[in-house]
Structure 1
Amino acid sequence: MAQSPLRALVNILSNAVDGIEGVYEKNGATFPNLDAPYTPSPLEHDPQVMGLTAVLLGAAFQLMMTVGTPIENITTTYTCQMYMTASLRYVVETSIADVLKEGDPKGVHVDEIAQKINAKDPALIARVLRYMASRHCFREVSPNVFAHNKLSSVLVKTKSFAEIQADPLSQYDGMTASAVVGHTSDEGFKSASHLSEWLQDPTSAPHAFGAAFGVPDMWQWFEQPGNELRRRRFATVMKAIGAGGYPDRIFTEAIDWKALPESATVVDVGGNTGSVSLAIAKAHPHLNLVVQDLPQVIDSLTKPFWSENSPEYVSNGKIKFQPHDFFTPNPTKNVDVFFMRMILHDWSKEKSVEILTHLRAAAQPSTKLVVFDHIILHACPDPLMPPENVPNAPWPMLANLGYGIGGITTVFDIHMLNLFGGQERTVAEFTELGKLTGWKLEKAIPGPTGTIVYSAV
């Protein structure tokens, strides 16, 4: 009898677990316990572990969808996800995660939590935390007593609870998940409630965010009175993105940097802090790098970042900072490589064409353009993707591994659509952008963030 999809998924899960545990055992480590607070491990970025994790996540979610009834999956698992978002916003804005961190590690009763955050009804706190604990964020260690676990511990802010109370405006300073959760569950969530209406009439506003708040873009909204905390929180989100979270090898091995001459100029377009430039500079110190961004970004983020992390590159002239708006002609000429990280996904096709056209006008015939952006993989086989650049999806899994890869990149895609009218792109869409702007796609490699390499034509 042929193997059932159910049994095949179970076998995929078993094999993936064997592989992950094998890597950890080989390195003298044990896989982190869900019930313990999160401690970063370098093995998280091990290529084998990352690949197996994507398969495991995709198979586990597909198994859940296979076993659960359609009504339950649609109405409870999907439609009601909004309550997890709302609950996350509540525990972040009230700093409940920080109260638990400073309380008894064995658990804190909701009465004590309520007293700390000045809440009137401890029972409401219990209901929210129990909802979250039932989804493996927090632990209910005894009735109405809650403690951190692996997931909830990343909601802790860098400041103490007393410091948060004394200066709420700065509570998201420091790079933690709380800023990302706060931003997404606040302005992102409010915008999403307008997404359906906007999709049905995209001419009604520039994007769902514009429909929700009545503004042309998020940047103008941040400048409105009353949005000071949101503006500062979003700056922290951008710093966190600039600081990484992706393995340096994605950037340092994107092309053959060593083949470039000592005189080579590499321009980081819209570079924010320039953290990717720093990773490239450390791996390939012969390169001359230029970080470009808006004047206020250069002054407030880029220069302080380099002064703190690698002032020697500034003093020896291997790194330069250049105020520049990428919707205007690029002032740097004779460039060997332009690169952009997480830029094009903020913008529509029309705006992305404008950006790439300016870069092509400044390029030499030999110039390369490297784009680091998520690559959307179809949920079915894609004849445009070379076999070596797509995940090995065992039957009966989706071609993009479902939740393991496609589920993540498509979240970013809809989030960009929601906030900016932007998008993550398929290989075909990246190819089209190149054809419209004088760039030929050489290769597109999916990964934690995709690598798209163009040559000038």
Structure 2
Amino acid sequence: MSGKEFENSPDIDGVARALSQVTLQGDTFLHGDTEARQKLIASAKELVAAAETPVEALLWHTWALPTRTVAARVAVDLKLFETTVQDDGRPKTNEELAAPTGASPALVKRISRACVSMHMLDEKGPGLYVPNRLTHLLSGPGFVGSIIHLFDITQEYRFPKPDNALDGPFQYANGIGTAFEWLANHPEVFQAFYSYVHALRKHRPSWTDIYPVHEKLVNGLKLDGDASVFVDIGGGTGQILQDFRADIPEYRGRLVLQEIPEVIAAATVGPDDGIELQVHDFFTPQPIKGARAYFLRSCLHDWPDEQCRTILGHLKDAMEPGYSKIIISDAVMADEKATWQHVALDIFMIAQLSAQERTESEWHALVESCGLKIAGIYNKGEGNEGVVEIVAE
């Protein structure tokens, strides 16, 4: 078995053994042997460990567990548990849960859905919450004290309304403008981040596996000048375009990588690879007019809506209606019962960048506020990135 196959493969023999134990101990417990309950729990955990791939298990430990601790602590300060159980536990909206503390409903929504993923709350519909047994346990001063003590003895935090890229938890903790500036001053962390992102993407569906590239981009391609361009905006060191060139050799247009100067200087591709390099800040007007595709991967989730509207507005000004497309490869969260991968990333985005992962309805609201239209949203597999296709009306 190759390295990639191993990293993406469950332990089939382990699944069979654990499943047998779960069945046996579950049946014993249901027939009145209360001592079998703990064995059932242990076997169920063994089943999950065997069924997960190594990559999924790693992401659970590095993504889910740290963000769950943070989300639970914020939920305590927001009084989510005690508010949810009030009025005999009738379903409550984000606005109702925000009222006792005067918090931002947008923040409450993001913390509440994290609590749903931890089974600390239940969801009756998009943005509508009810208590469960764990909610009731946490609604009083006893057990909720464990969350306060175990978090506050080692950390402190501040979660204002998450919409200011320059005044969020990261700035409070580090006293510097943005996380991007901090990374620039810590090149070893910057390199570790890029290595990790590239490794992770090899184990997830490529955007070209999700989006119908031939139908949408290859067919009808104009080969004259800028009309042929596929431009990767904020595309890092160029791996995405290199993969695109290998995966879609039928695309005969020009390929352009746009990035800030220090990233362009570190690019691993260039003209010898058939890729043009161009210094560009996506907060300024887009210099390539009427391109076939303006591609943004994991860019807009780094910014609050206000900055995203600026980015999309510049692209709208450059597009040729009926021909150009904006292709966004980013998480598309479910409006209800979002997967833990997306929820964990969303908490990271709040803490590091005062930004967010967006639900399908939030993507529509953002795009339409810019006078653009979503032509399609494409997904493949739970917890992966999706693809949002945008056109100019």
TM-score, normalisation: structure 2: 0.56
Q: Does 1:216 align with 2:177?
A: yes
* Alignment counterpart, residue 452 of structure 1, candidates 362, 369, 388: 388
Indicate yes or no: 2:240 matched with 1:276: yes
Segments of structure 1 that go 5 or more residues without pairing to the other structure are 1-31, 33-37, 46-59, 68-133, 140-148, 156-176, 380-401
CA drift of 1:286 comes to 1.4
For 1:153 and 1:44, locate their aligned partners in 2 and report how far apart those are by CA, in whole Å. Answer: 7
1:198 alignment partner, SS class: coil
Identity across the alignment (%)? 23
Q: Which of residues 180, 183, 188 in structure 2 aligns to 1:229?
A: 188
Give 3-state SS (helix, strand or coil) of 2:329's partner. Answer: strand
Match of 2:251 in 1: 285
3-state secondary structure, aligned to 2:332:
coil
Task: Say if 2:311 is the partner of 1:339.
Answer: no
- Cα deviations across residues 293-337 of structure 1 (Å, max 9, x unaligned)? 11211220x3x2x36xxx7542xxxx3111111011111112121
Kindly indicate whether residue 374 of structure 2 is the aligned counterpart of residue 374 of structure 1.
no
- CA shift, 1:270, in A, is 0.9
Write the distance in 2 (CA, Å) between the matches of 1:238 and 1:325: 22
Distance 2:193 2:254 in 1: 30
- 1:240 Cα offset (Å): 3.7
CA RMSD of aligned residues (A): 4.4
Displacement after TM superposition at 1:352 (Å): 0.6
Q: Which 5+ residue runs of structure 2 have no aligned equivalent? A: 10-21, 30-43, 78-156
Contact 2:163 2:354 in 1 (8 A): no
Residue of structure 2 equivalent to 1:323: 279
CA distance in 1, matches of 2:167, 2:244: 36
Structure 2 CA distance for aligned equivalents of residues 291 and 450 of structure 1: 21
Contact 1:217 1:420 in 2 (8 A): yes
Which of 326, 344, 347 is 1:411 aligned to?
Answer: 344
1:256 maps to what in 2?
A: 216
Post-superposition shift, 1:222? 3.2
Letter in 1 for 2:4: P
The 2-side partners of 1:228 and 1:182 are apart by 21
Show the counterpart of 2:374.
441
Structure 1 291/412 Cα, relative in aligned 2: closer, same or farther at 3 Å?
same
Amino acid at match of 2:326: L
* Cα deviation, residue 277, structure 1: 2.4
Q: Is the 8 A contact 1:242 1:276 kept in 2?
A: no
Please name the residue that 2:230 is paired with: 266
Distance of aligned partners of 1:351 and 1:358 in 2 relative to their CA distance in 1, 3 Å threshold: same
Counterpart-to-counterpart distance in 2, 1:215 and 1:199: 16
Q: Which whole-Å CA distance do the structure 1 matches of 2:288 and 2:243 have between them?
A: 21
User: C-alpha distance in 2, partners of 1:338/1:203?
Assistant: 25
Q: Is the 8 A contact 1:413 1:423 kept in 2?
A: yes
- Partners in 2 of 1:373 and 1:440 — Cα distance? 17
CA distance in 2, matches of 1:361, 1:207: 31
Using the alignment, how far apart are the partners of 1:433 and 1:154 within structure 2?
A: 32
Output the amino acid matched with 2:176. V
Alpha-carbon distance change, 240 to 210 in structure 1, aligned in 2, over 3 angstroms = farther
Question: Equivalents in 2 of 1:377, 1:338: separation in Å?
Answer: 25
When residues 199 and 210 of structure 1 are mapped into structure 2, their CA distance, relative to the original with a 3 A threshold, is same
Per the alignment, in what secondary structure is the counterpart of residue 409 of structure 1?
A: helix
For residues 363 and 273 of structure 1, the distance between their equivalents in structure 2, rounded to whole angstroms, comes to 25
CA distance in 2, matches of 1:203, 1:266: 31
Letter in 1 for 2:388: I
Instruction: Name the count of aligned residue pairs.
Output: 271
Return the alpha-carbon distance in structure 2 between the equivalents of residues 370 and 357 of structure 1. 14
In the TM superposition, what is the alpha-carbon distance from 1:223 to its structure 2 partner?
A: 4.5
Q: Which amino acid aligns with 1:406?
A: T
Structure 1 residue corresponding to 2:205, chosen from 225, 229, 246? 246
